[in-house]
């Protein structure tokens, strides 16, 4: 089985989570195992200095422990590179070597060495597939048998002095294997249970990702439909009501020229002409606010500059010349700015406002800050406007943050990735 690797798909969270958990679980074990091996090496050196055991046997144990320390050091380096199976394999082999060597040199310790053999198996359970786990269990059974046989054959007195050594060997190894089998069954069942849960988690994650994609697509459709409706209304106002008002103004001016300046109706006609001109201008501003043609023809930068001038607020602008963006990106940023300026004019008309637009490391960033009274973002009063801004920004893969509290002003920041 190949090593567990970080997934190429950034949305494939279960594998990524499993990898991080494996690293976090195995790293402390490897460090502790290496510390224990260093302590064991020190004990062997002390025993050699005191002459407590045959120097050749102690040299065998010391060599095995040095090999274990080296393998654990490589394993720690591998786990930092997220090569989980390699790290587990090195730790397992190193511990098995030490267990066999200690059982040979100090036969009385062979029962303890069985625990050394089984520790890596238990540790590895959550991170192996069934085929690899079965192979590991078979290898563990052989390692346990080897440790048991080595310890018993080198123990002159034996554990049970009244029994023949051959019979004792058969009984002990048989008992060890009999106990190993249920442990292997438990390990296998736990592994299958964990793999099943991971599969369920992966399925749920896939469904969640699909739902997120559907939500993003739905948002885009809503925003696109809203923009299309805005353009339709703008065209209807321009081609319908505005043209009728212009025609009415022309007729009023014609009437004014026919009745002459000295006619009694002249002041009334002049007033109607002025009112018609004001209505035309107001309707034009309304139509441009619904969907400004300048945004389509010239881009985001001039459209924001015009919106800032027409807002009636005290605005300091810092708008970088970022050129033309993707149409959907320009629309999202423009209407976020328009909504933020409208809210500022409504709730903080006397505040100082700063509007910034520029390129950031990850894309484009738009910020509108006012030093007004602020508001509670969790309240209902601003929910509709903030939801509209959020939908627009997230529909193009961006992020919107609104930072506000009573008495500290409001900051609206929209960040869009590069198209």
Render pLDDT for 263-290 as a digit per residue (tens, 0 to 9). 665 677 677 777 777 776 666 666 555 5
Considering the domain architecture, whether residues 28 and 149 belong to the same structural domain is answered as: yes
217 domain residue, yes or no: no
pLDDT at 130: 75
Count of residues making up the chain? 419
What digits encode the pLDDT tens for the residues 222-232?
Answer: 766 676 666 66
pLDDT at 354: 92
1 domain residue, yes or no: no
pLDDT at 325: 86
Q: How far apart are CA 189 and CA 192, in angstroms?
A: 5
Q: Which of 386, 409, 411 is nearest to 336 (CA)?
A: 386
What digits encode the pLDDT tens for the residues 297-346?
Answer: 888 898 888 888 887 788 898 998 888 888 888 888 988 888 888 888 88
Considering the domain architecture, whether residues 298 and 284 belong to the same structural domain is answered as: no
Considering the domain architecture, whether residues 69 and 208 belong to the same structural domain is answered as: yes
CATH of the domain at 373: 3.30.565.10
Q: Is 162 a residue whose pLDDT tops 80?
A: no
Calculate the alpha carbon distances from 23 to 75, 76, 129, 156 in Å: 11, 10, 17, 44
Q: How far apart are CA 118 and CA 95, in angstroms?
A: 9
235 domain residue, yes or no: yes
Q: Which of 294, 288, 170 is nearest to 234 (CA)?
A: 288
Least confident of 64-73, 114-123, 241-250, 310-319: 241-250
Structural domain for 36, as ranges: 13-212
Considering the domain architecture, whether residues 195 and 318 belong to the same structural domain is answered as: no
What digits encode the pLDDT tens for the residues 336-388?
Answer: 888 888 888 888 888 889 999 988 777 899 999 998 888 876 665 556 667 77
Q: Is 238 a residue whose pLDDT tops 70?
A: no
- 316 token code pair: 């300091």
CA contacts within 13 A on the Cβ side of 221: 6
Considering the domain architecture, whether residues 138 and 42 belong to the same structural domain is answered as: yes
- Coil, helix or strand for 331? helix
Considering the domain architecture, whether residues 108 and 200 belong to the same structural domain is answered as: yes
Q: How many domains does the chain divide into?
A: 3
Cα angle value 138/142/146 (rounded, 5°): 170
- 379 token code pair: 């309240």
Considering the domain architecture, whether residues 183 and 56 belong to the same structural domain is answered as: yes
Percentage with pLDDT > 90 across the chain: 8
Q: Is 187 a residue whose pLDDT tops 90?
A: no
pTM exceeds 0.75, yes or no? no
Considering the domain architecture, whether residues 112 and 85 belong to the same structural domain is answered as: yes
52 domain residue, yes or no: yes
In sequence order, the β-bridge partners of residue 367 are: 356, 413
Q: For residue 394, name the pLDDT band (cuts at 50, 70, 90).
A: confident
Which of 290, 323, 344 is a domain's end point? 290
Cα angle value 202/204/210 (rounded, 5°): 105
Better pLDDT: 1 or 30: 30
Q: How far apart are CA 223 and CA 217, in angstroms?
A: 10
219 domain residue, yes or no: no
């Amino acid at each position: 089985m190949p090593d567990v690797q970080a997934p190429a798909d950034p949305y494939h969270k279960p594998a990524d989570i499993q990898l991080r958990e494996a690293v976090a679980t195995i790293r402390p074990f490897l460090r502790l195992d290496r510390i224990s091996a260093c302590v064991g090496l020190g004990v062997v050196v002390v025993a050699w200095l005191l002459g407590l055991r045959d120097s050749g046997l102690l040299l065998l144990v010391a060599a095995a422990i040095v090999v274990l320390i080296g393998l654990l050091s490589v394993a720690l380096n591998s786990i930092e590179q997220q090569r989980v199976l390699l790290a587990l394999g090195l730790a397992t082999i190193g511990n098995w070597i030490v267990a066999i060597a200690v059982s040979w040199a100090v036969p009385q310790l062979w029962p303890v060495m069985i625990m050394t053999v089984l520790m890596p198996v238990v540790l590895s359970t959550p991170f192996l597939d069934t085929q690899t786990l079965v192979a590991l269990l078979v290898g563990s059974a052989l390692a346990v048998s080897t440790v048991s046989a080595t310890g018993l054959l080198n123990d002159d007195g034996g554990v049970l002095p009244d029994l023949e050594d051959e019979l004792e060997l058969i009984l002990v190894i048989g008992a060890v294997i009999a106990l190993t089998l249920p442990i292997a069954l438990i390990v296998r069942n736990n592994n299958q249970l964990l793999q099943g849960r991971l599969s369920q988690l992966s399925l749920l994650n896939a469904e969640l990702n699909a739902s997120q994609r559907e939500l993003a697509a739905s948002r885009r459709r809503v925003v696109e439909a809203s923009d299309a409706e805005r353009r339709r209304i703008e065209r209807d106002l321009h081609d319908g009501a505005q043209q009728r008002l212009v025609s009415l103004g022309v007729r009023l001016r014609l009437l004014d020229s026919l009745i002459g300046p000295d006619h009694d109706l002249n002041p009334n006609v002049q007033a109607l002409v002025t009112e018609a001109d004001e209505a035309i201008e107001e309707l034009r501003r309304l139509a441009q606010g619904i969907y400004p043609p300048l945004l389509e023809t010239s881009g985001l930068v001039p459209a924001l500059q015009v919106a800032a001038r027409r807002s009636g607020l005290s605005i300091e602008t810092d708008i970088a010349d970022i050129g033309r963006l993707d149409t959907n990106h320009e629309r999202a940023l423009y209407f976020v700015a328009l909504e933020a300026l409208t809210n500022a004019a409504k709730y903080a008309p006397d505040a100082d406002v700063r509007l910034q637009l520029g390129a950031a490391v990850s894309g484009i960033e738009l910020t509108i800050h006012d030093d007004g009274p602020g508001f509670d973002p969790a309240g209902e009063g601003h929910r509709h406007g903030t939801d509209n801004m959020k939908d627009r920004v997230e529909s193009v893969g961006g992020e919107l943050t609104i930072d506000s509290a009573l008495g500290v002003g409001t900051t609206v920041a929209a960040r869009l990735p590069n198209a």
